């Protein structure tokens, strides 16, 4: 399975592609950060992010896209930009029919480090180990994007099977009425 992980942000949007499956070694395909400058209007920055996400989707042809689920923090201006970038990423994937999954920060931290309260350094270190990299991906947005992709490979497949089983059961029950 190939997953594009996206750590959304208006200034820095982390992008990471990982190949792998449960019980098999993971491998890094690509990692980077889409950047926009705060001197541009928000709508132009969002177009830059859209073009960047589209380019990553075209180049890497992922089986799924994993995006960090946005939680309200104290700074509303920061969360608005993050949510807007996440929405752009979702639209880009949906336009191509690529499944999208949202993972919470604590879910990602727990998946890669075993600790849902791990700090950015711990997550970066575990991503480096899991992907057998020579150095930790920088900036943290890049490492976080890879952590999202890893989380989806390890947890997303099971979640998708559960959802499919529930949907199949609902169809079965509906057919018997």
How confident is the model over 27-81, as pLDDT tens digits?
Answer: 999 999 999 999 999 999 999 999 999 999 999 999 999 999 987 766 777 789 9
pTM for the model: 0.88
Per the structure, how many domains does the chain have?
A: 1
Given the residues 54, 68, 107, 163, the one annotated as active site: 68
141 among known catalytic residues: yes
**7 annotated to bind ligand:** yes
Tokens at 8, concatenated: 């959304």
Residue 10 belongs to domain spanning? 2-175
Residues of the chain with pLDDT > 90, as a percent, come to 80
pLDDT score of 151 more than 90: yes
- Alpha-carbon distance of 78 to 162, in angstroms, equals 34
Pick the closest to residue 124 from 114, 103, 111, 139 (CA basis).
139
19 among known catalytic residues: no
* Rg of the chain taking only CA atoms, in angstroms: 17
pLDDT score of 111 more than 70: yes
DSSP structure string for 95-141: HHT--EEEE-HHHHHHHHHS-TT--HHHHHHHHHHHTT-SS--SSHH
CATH number at residue 12: 3.30.420.10
């Amino acid at each position: 399975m190939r997953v594009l992980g996206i750590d959304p942000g208006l200034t820095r949007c982390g992008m990471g592609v990982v190949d792998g499956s449960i019980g098999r070694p993971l491998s890094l395909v690509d990692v980077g950060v889409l950047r926009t400058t705060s001197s541009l209007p928000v709508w132009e920055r969002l177009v830059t992010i859209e073009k960047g996400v589209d380019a990553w989707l075209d180049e890497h042809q992922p089986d799924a896209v994993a995006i960090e689920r946005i939680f309200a923090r104290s700074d509303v201006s920061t969360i608005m930009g993050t949510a807007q970038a996440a929405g752009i990423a979702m639209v880009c994937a949906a336009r191509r029919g690529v499944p999208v999954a949202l993972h919470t920060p604590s879910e990602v931290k727990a998946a890669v480090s075993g600790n849902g309260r791990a700090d950015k350094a711990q997550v970066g270190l575990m991503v480096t180990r899991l992907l057998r990299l020579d150095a930790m991906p920088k900036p943290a947005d890049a490492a976080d994007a890879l952590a999202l992709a890893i989380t989806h490979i390890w947890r997303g497949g099971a979640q998708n099977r559960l959802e499919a089983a529930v949907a199949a059961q609902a169809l079965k029950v509906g057919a018997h009425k």
